[in-house]
Structure 1
Amino acid sequence: MLGEERASATRIRLLRDVGMLFESADVGWLLSERGAATSPSLDELYRGLVRALTDLAALPPCETDSGDLPASAYARVPDVAREVCDVLRVLLGRLAGAEAQAASSPASARAVVRALAAPLCVFAATHVQEQPWSSPESRSAASQLLEAAVRASGSVSVAEFLCGGTPSGEQPGALSAVLRLLRPQMTKESWKRNQATKFVFSWILTRVGRPWLADHLDHVFASSLLISDDYRTENKVLGVKCLQHIVVNVPAADLRQYNRAQVLYHALYNHLYTPEAQLVEVVLPCLLDLLSVLEKPCGSTEMTRRTNRYDQVLRLVLTHMEMEYKLALRRVYARNLAVFAHRMGVVMIRHLKRLERVIVGYLEVSDSPGEQSRLSILDVLEVVLQNTWPRVQSRLGALVRALLKLMCDVTADSGLCSPVAREELLDKATRCLLLLDRYSEGQIRA
């Protein structure tokens, strides 16, 4: 323990000396080429220097299958990372200043900045996030380093720094180099050895949108699938979030090419069998976005009346909803069923019998004080009534009884739910009763 503390203190002193050297050195010396023909180029020298500096704050490797280490294993990383960020920020400041000085070598400085963009971005992304290996001070230093890298590249945002100024590629960004740097760490055998790798990949990915992401689809798609296929729920959630970002930001034609969308559909569909609320909560919205890629809109006049993947997913969701007793999962299912109802519209009539059972069952069970599942299921009922009203007549009695029972329960027991939830429940239940009365030609009032 004492030896580790001394080593950490030695590293910090060394880093401060290097920072003072960069601050006081002449710009011409910093950018001077070595005379020997066998000497590495200037950008190679600086890449090696940055690699050596960032290795001082490298995370300890994880040898276990979980991919996690205890927080105590990272106790000395934040202090060293903060010093490394400060040193690299000073270096970037000197290089950026050299570009503005005609007497110096702006072309050399620009080439060095471009060569350092990828490793600096990966290092900053590692320490800018709130994780066990970071502290408020190291996160602040990493954020400042990232801002310095963005400014030095002539960009105005992280997205422009990664993607470039224009989609045509006239001003290429650092994304290709960043993904090349991450590729050896994102293999099936190595991605768990460094706990930060998956978070860095996700952080980079979610800052790249249309149309740039499509050019890197092969790499980001495979890496996201790899993370989502892990046995740990938190990794599945992170992987699915990455996949949804890809689905939203890549053209549908590219996703359908080589059956990528079909592969993704099967992977997400299988996740629905995992009874974890936090996973189902991200899988269902991702599936809905993907279904719009695989299937025509449900309201399309060209759409055949054959069942498709919308029906397949909805059948499975309704099956799980009928049997589910955990309140957290019931809330997730009810909230996303409302989105399904809006998306599918009149096609919901195929599933009306099972929908009735689910709606009545969810109206009977309270999840106070917020009553989220009941409120969501009332939204579902309203959309279903608006789209399937010709078939409502045969189900009128069961739905009216369920709604009236709900209103009586909520009114009789003032402590059952919060005042705001009670008012919203009564309002939505009343709207559903009015719809039922209208579509039944006044039978309820009669």
Structure 2
Amino acid sequence: MERDGSPESPPREGSSMPGERPSSDLGQALSQILHHLTRQESRRGRARNAALQDLSALLEAAECDQLFEGSDTWLGGVPGMLGKVTAALEKYAAPPKEEEGRGDGSSTVAEKAAAVGLLFIKLLRKVESAKKPPVRLAWKRGLRHLAGPIYMFAITHSVQQPWTRPGSRDVAREVLTLLLHVAECGSVAGFLHGENEDERGRFAEIMGLLQPHLNKESWKNNPATKHVFSWTLQQVTRPWLNQHLERVLPPSLLISDDYQTENKVLGVHCLHHIVLNVPAADLLQYNRAQVLYHALFNHLYTPEHHLIQAVLLCLLDLFPVLEKGLHWKGGAARPTTHCDEVLQLILTHMEPEHRVLLRRTYARNLPAFVKRLGILTVRHLKRLERVILGYLEVYDGPEEEARLKILETLKLLMQYTWPRVSCRLVVLLKALLKLICDVARDSSLTPEPVKSALLEEATDCLLLLDHCSQGQVKGLLAKIPQSCEDSKVVECVRKVQQVSEGAPYSGT
């Protein structure tokens, strides 16, 4: 092996790293390779490149029975040493800290990853060959030491990231495919939680490898760690995830509590996955659900639409868990809920909000909150009315997402709180007619299907309003067809009159 000229020389033949006793010449050669991969001298690059070449040659020349023998000897024998080399290779190919990236650092990482990936493919081919006689029983022993680091390498480099390139991604995907094939797993999920109920998966092992890098001091040392954790977590679903709740909840909260919006969103996605796939009883234990709620609620003060969207979706799935033990016994007023608290804050933010993306995000989720509260939405009726009237007046761009969602919200609101609607008849009728006229005369780039959807939704709201007011809308609209020259407006009014004169509207 090529020396790098440093004062510290690699172990001589017959020696080993301190505290290690290679059980064979092969183990000794692996020990020397491990030494060169993990040394810290400034001229380590040449030595590491030579170590990769030596390992490649070693894997080509070694027999399967040599690679996977001796697991009962000191430190696992050759398989144990091979596992250490694999972990060192995974670390060697890992991306550096973000602040350490310089110039073409990303392309350098991709080159390293491609070289390491080819070595992992050779190694997995050896494991696959070990399934054949006479070493058929040894392959599981070998894979036990190799699977974790190889999996982490594959997930780190298989998707598009700043440190990957098309070539390195292709190699990493091939490594992952071969790993699943050798492990006899049909999917990554099966690899992690086990293909059968009585089979133990490798999720605990992967989390054990990630755990030292997921604390407050170290989780940003490797920019890939958060992505490997998030991606791995989302492969494990019910009923397996609750067994690992103590391991996955703290890192998810840690990532979501970061100052960078990207990390906040990633952490919230992890928390949402936990909420969806862990039983309510486990989330309520030790007050975990309340901890989740407060962590998510604090994000609602951040003016980032991507984060708000992720938080609101997560909260909507968390509410049933938080309110699981609440039962109204009649007599007294129903207690306010977490959903009431969140809706109150959302409406507070919606009224003065002028940023289009945030307006769309709030409007997109408003119908779900009205559905969740049902008739209890009456508590927020005055503020909802102000928000609805304000949002119906403002053009929302070609897609008109905000106004369409606000119309959907208004329909739900009238269905749930219809006894309180008649006293708001004039205000709502004016707003809907103004919207219909504005859309009918709109000469902007709004597509015709969007205009048609707005007119249809507004007409449905007029029908509901007429039904809630015992037919008063019909009388107020009676003279419009004679005085209005716009065919689209007249068409909407006639639809309301025709339905009112016929069978009762069944929208409520």
User: Shared fold (TM-score greater than 0.5)?
Assistant: yes
Name the SS for the 1:109 alignment partner: helix
Amino acid of the residue matched to residue 103 of structure 1? P
**Residues 256, 264 of structure 2: 8 Å contact kept:** yes
Q: Which amino acid in 1 is paired with 2:286? A: Y
Larger radius of gyration: 2
**Which of the pair has the greater relative contact order for Cα pairs under 8 Å at 6+ separation?**
1
Residues 278/359 of structure 1: CA separation in 2 closer, same or farther (3 Å cut):
same
Distance in structure 2 (CA, Å) of the matches to 1:274 and 1:13:
51
Report whether the alignment pairs 1:229 with 2:257: yes
1:432 to 442, 461, 465: 461
Cα distance in 2 for partners of 1:70, 1:302 equals 65
Which letter maps to 1:117?
Answer: A
Identify the match of residue 419 of structure 1 among 436, 445, 448.
448
Give the aligned partner of residue 293 of structure 2. Answer: 265
SS at match of 1:441: coil
Shift of the 114–445 alpha-carbon distance from structure 1 to 2, 3 Å rule, reads: same
CA gap 1:325/1:69 in 2 versus in 1, 3 angstroms:
farther
Map 1:290-329 to 2 at 5 A: 290-296=318-324, 305-329=334-358
Mapped partners of 1:338, 1:147: distance in 2: 43
TM-score, normalising length: structure 1: 0.91
Aligned residues with identical type, % of pairs: 47
Unaligned runs of 5+ in 2: 5-42, 476-508
Give the letter aligned to residue 457 of structure 2. K
Q: Is the 8 A contact 1:211 1:250 kept in 2?
A: yes
Partner of 2:165: 135
Q: CA deviation at 1:384?
A: 0.8
Coordinate RMSD, CA, aligned? 2.3
Match of 1:102 in 2: 133
TM-superposed deviation, 1:428: 0.5
CA distance in 2, matches of 1:342, 1:16: 63
Cα shift at 1:320: 0.5
1:249 corresponds in structure 2 to 277
Distance in 1, matches of 2:419 and 2:292, equals: 37
In the TM superposition, residue 432 of structure 1 has moved relative to its aligned partner by: 0.6
1:205-216 aligned within 5 A = 205-216=233-244
Q: What one-letter code is carried by the residue in structure 2 that aligns with 1:53?
A: L
Q: CA deviation at 1:14?
A: 5.2
Native 8 Å contact 1:16 1:87 kept in 2:
no
How far does residue 164 in structure 1 lie from its aligned partner after superposition? 0.8
Distance 1:359 1:335 in 2: 13
Greater Cα shift, 122-131 or 234-243: 122-131
Does the Cα contact within 8 Å between 1:78 and 1:133 map onto a contact in 2?
A: yes
Which residue number corresponds to residue 348 of structure 1?
377
3-state SS, counterpart of residue 398 of structure 2: coil
Cα distance in 1 for partners of 2:266, 2:182 equals: 31
Change (3 A) 1:11 1:55: same
1:174–1:277: structure 2 CA closer, same or farther, 3 Å change rule?
Answer: same
Change (3 A) 1:372 1:32: same
CA contact (8 A) 1:345 1:387 kept: yes
Aligned to 1:366: 395
Q: Is the 8 A contact 1:124 1:143 kept in 2?
A: yes
In 2, the alpha carbon distance for the partners of 1:306 and 1:75 equals 58
Report what 2:120 is aligned to: 88
Structure 2 counterpart of 1:399, from 403, 422, 428:
428
Deviation at residue 89 of structure 1 after TM alignment: 1.5
Q: Distance in 1 between matches of 2:111 and 2:468?
A: 68
Aligned counterpart in structure 1 of residue 83 of structure 2, from 47, 50, 69: 47
CA displacement at 1:415 relative to structure 2: 1.3
Q: Offset of 1:9 from its aligned partner?
A: 8.4
- Distance 1:275-1:59 versus aligned 2 partners, 3 A rule: same
Partner of 2:483: none
1:169-180 matches, cutoff 5 A: 170-180=198-208
Q: Is 1:27 aligned to 2:53, yes or no?
A: no
CA distance in 2, matches of 1:335, 1:297: 29
The residue that corresponds to 2:190 in the other structure is 160
Partners in 1 of 2:50 and 2:170 — Cα distance?
20
Q: Is it true that 1:278 corresponds to 2:310 in the alignment? A: no
Contact 1:227 1:236 (C-alpha < 8 Å) held by counterparts: yes
Number of residue pairs matched?
432
| 1:275-308 deviation per Cα after TM superposition (whole angstroms, max 9, x unaligned) | 111110100010111111101499x876872211
Amino acid at match of 1:199: H
Shift of 1:20: 4.7
Structure 1 unaligned segments of length 5 or more: list them.
none
Report the Cα distance in structure 2 between the residues aligned to 1:345 and 1:276, rounded to whole angstroms: 28
Q: 1:408 to 1:264 in 2, by over 3 A?
A: same
Shift of the alpha carbon at 1:74?
2.1
- 1:148 equivalent in alignment to 2:148: no
